[in-house]
Amino acid sequence: MARSKQREIMLSVDEGSLEPLYRQIYRQVSGAIVDGSLAAGDRLPSIRKLCGHLGVSHTTVEQAYLQLAVEGYVRNMARSGYVVEKLDTGFLQMTRDSTIEKNVQRSVESRSQDAFFAENLQGGQALYDFSYANLPDDSFPVKTWYRLVGEMLHSSVIPELGRYAYTSEPNELSRQICAYLKRARGVDCVPEQVIPQSGTDGSLATVFQLFSREHHTVGLEEPGYATVSEVAQRMGFGLVPLPSDCGMDAYFEALERYRPKIVFCTPSHQFPTGRIMAIDARTRLLKWAQQNNAYIIEDDSCNEYRYETAPIPSLQSLDAYSRVIYMCNVSKVLSPSMRVAYLVLPPKLLGRYFRLFNYAHPSIPWLEQEVLARFMAEGYWDQHIRRMTKLMRKRHDALLSGLTDAFGDSIRISGQHSGMHLYVSVPNGMTQQELISSARREGAAVYGTQRMWFSRSAPEESLMVGFSSIKPEDIPAGVEALARAWRR
């Protein structure tokens, strides 16, 4: 075996540099190996020799050599010291792609400007933003939340922050959500069935993983919630349309024709039309699911916002067959940015969930869950819902009366008296994009419905006109802007 030889290299250190001395040594030696100044088999100077040469401590040189060894540049050989390893220096000398930043920017710019995120950002810049998703800037209970967070962190010892949590452990948030759903929505459940999730898209992804994309298709209302089609397609599931704008006979004809194993529906406030599924249709859907061994995902978003009647009972409250997967979130009432949603899984799927996610951890941080649980336990949740319903009702009434006064019978409105938006048809001969663009020129942002259709084209005159975040005092002027834009 050839004896390793020591090759002289010029090393220096700058004690005035912010870079640690050992890192300076490490950087110079690794650089010499990469550029070939030190070849495979060459010995590094002994630690004692290099200490004397550089005027640094034994520990400093040793730390540099250990770092080189652990990264594979050198190895410590008995009676030879540290010796350079054989490396692919040609690869290590390759320059990095200087166009990465430009390519990343090109990818960012190529994102669809028709997507919800782009439309929402642009709408927020308008003078009158008729958003149907955002909440008022001052709606979050900051002071109460701040106090609850402080109380949670006041203890000097918080064991939960030092250990992993598991999906199989029902926590206080699951218990509080369970109690609320029983009381307010008639949902029949126990805490173990309540699974907190990170957002509605996270909830959908979890549910779809309980099924087989090779054997199961997803039936989606059309028009319907675009996120469902996006998540389903991302996970490889086929989609079939269930018309939500042609009456219930057409809806059930599509169910019989396609026989999907997963049916997504919004029975208490259909998105986007705002229609309500009547009791007869609900029982018929539940019977169909039982007869066809199918499951129903009930999205109960916006259930809190009813302005003339009490909230509509959930579909799950009627489910005698355990066929309903209940899904909701806090985004429409408390905060969209918190990304807190939850599932209530029927017993058969719950067992499948525990087997599939046996080693999974909760997707929502412990502190956020615990503060929300305390917010609910101390009665703030119910108070906040009452406050938000009052705020939304005021905006709803102002928008509905404004549109009625300004347009009369020349437009059609559905979804009134509930939710966070009105579904408006403006049959004045303009296309949907023309309606949106002309409103923008007058300083008002309204929202299209194209993404809510996937098997047929959206009606050109259909728009979403929301009232969830606009200030009540801005609504009259905003409606006047729409009138200027759409009158012909």
pLDDT (tens digit per residue) in 227-258: 999 999 999 999 999 999 999 999 999 999 99
CATH T-level fold of 109-138+384-486: Aspartate Aminotransferase, domain 1 (3.90.1150)
- Please tell us whether the domain made up of 158-379 is placed in CATH 3.40.50.300: no
In angstroms, the CA 362 to CA 139 distance is: 27
At 315, list the tokens.
């579909």
At 205, list the tokens.
């992804």
For helices 21-34 and 58-70, give the axis angle rounded to 10 degrees: 40
pLDDT per residue, tens digit, the chain (488 aa), is: 455 666 678 899 999 999 999 999 999 999 999 999 999 999 999 999 999 999 999 999 999 999 999 999 999 998 889 999 999 999 999 887 778 888 888 887 777 665 666 676 776 788 999 999 899 999 999 999 999 999 988 876 777 777 777 766 678 999 999 999 999 999 999 999 999 999 999 999 999 999 999 999 999 999 999 999 999 999 999 999 999 999 999 999 999 999 999 999 999 999 999 999 999 999 999 999 999 999 999 999 999 999 999 888 999 999 999 999 999 999 999 999 999 999 999 999 999 999 999 888 888 998 999 999 999 999 999 999 999 999 999 999 999 999 999 999 999 999 999 999 999 999 999 999 999 999 999 999 999 999 999 999 999 999 999 999 999 999 999 999 999 999 86
Say whether 15 sits in a helix, a strand or coil: coil
At 213, list the tokens.
């994309």
CATH T-level fold of 21-92: Arc Repressor Mutant, subunit A (1.10.10)
For the chain, the straight-line distance linking the first and the last C-alpha, in angstroms and rounded, comes to 94
Look at residue 1 in the predicted model and tell me its pLDDT.
44
Look at residue 169 in the predicted model and tell me its pLDDT.
66
Look at residue 224 in the predicted model and tell me its pLDDT.
95
Look at residue 107 in the predicted model and tell me its pLDDT.
81
Domains 21-92 and 109-138+384-486 belong to one CATH topology: no
In angstroms, the CA 374 to CA 378 distance is: 6
Contacts of residue 308, Cβ cutoff 8 Å, sequence gap at least 6: 417
Domain boundaries, the chain: 21-92, 109-138+384-486, 158-379
Starting from the edge strand earliest in sequence, which strands make up the sheet with 340-344, in order? 194-198, 340-344, 324-329, 295-299, 262-265, 217-222, 238-243
Helix or strand holding residue 463 (H, E): strand 462-466
Burial of 154 (0-12, 13-18, 19+ CB in 10 A): exposed
Look at residue 421 in the predicted model and tell me its pLDDT.
96
Segments of 201-244 assigned E as strands: 217-222, 238-243
Burial of 170 (0-12, 13-18, 19+ CB in 10 A): middle
DSSP, res 410: G
In angstroms, the CA 246 to CA 267 distance is: 15
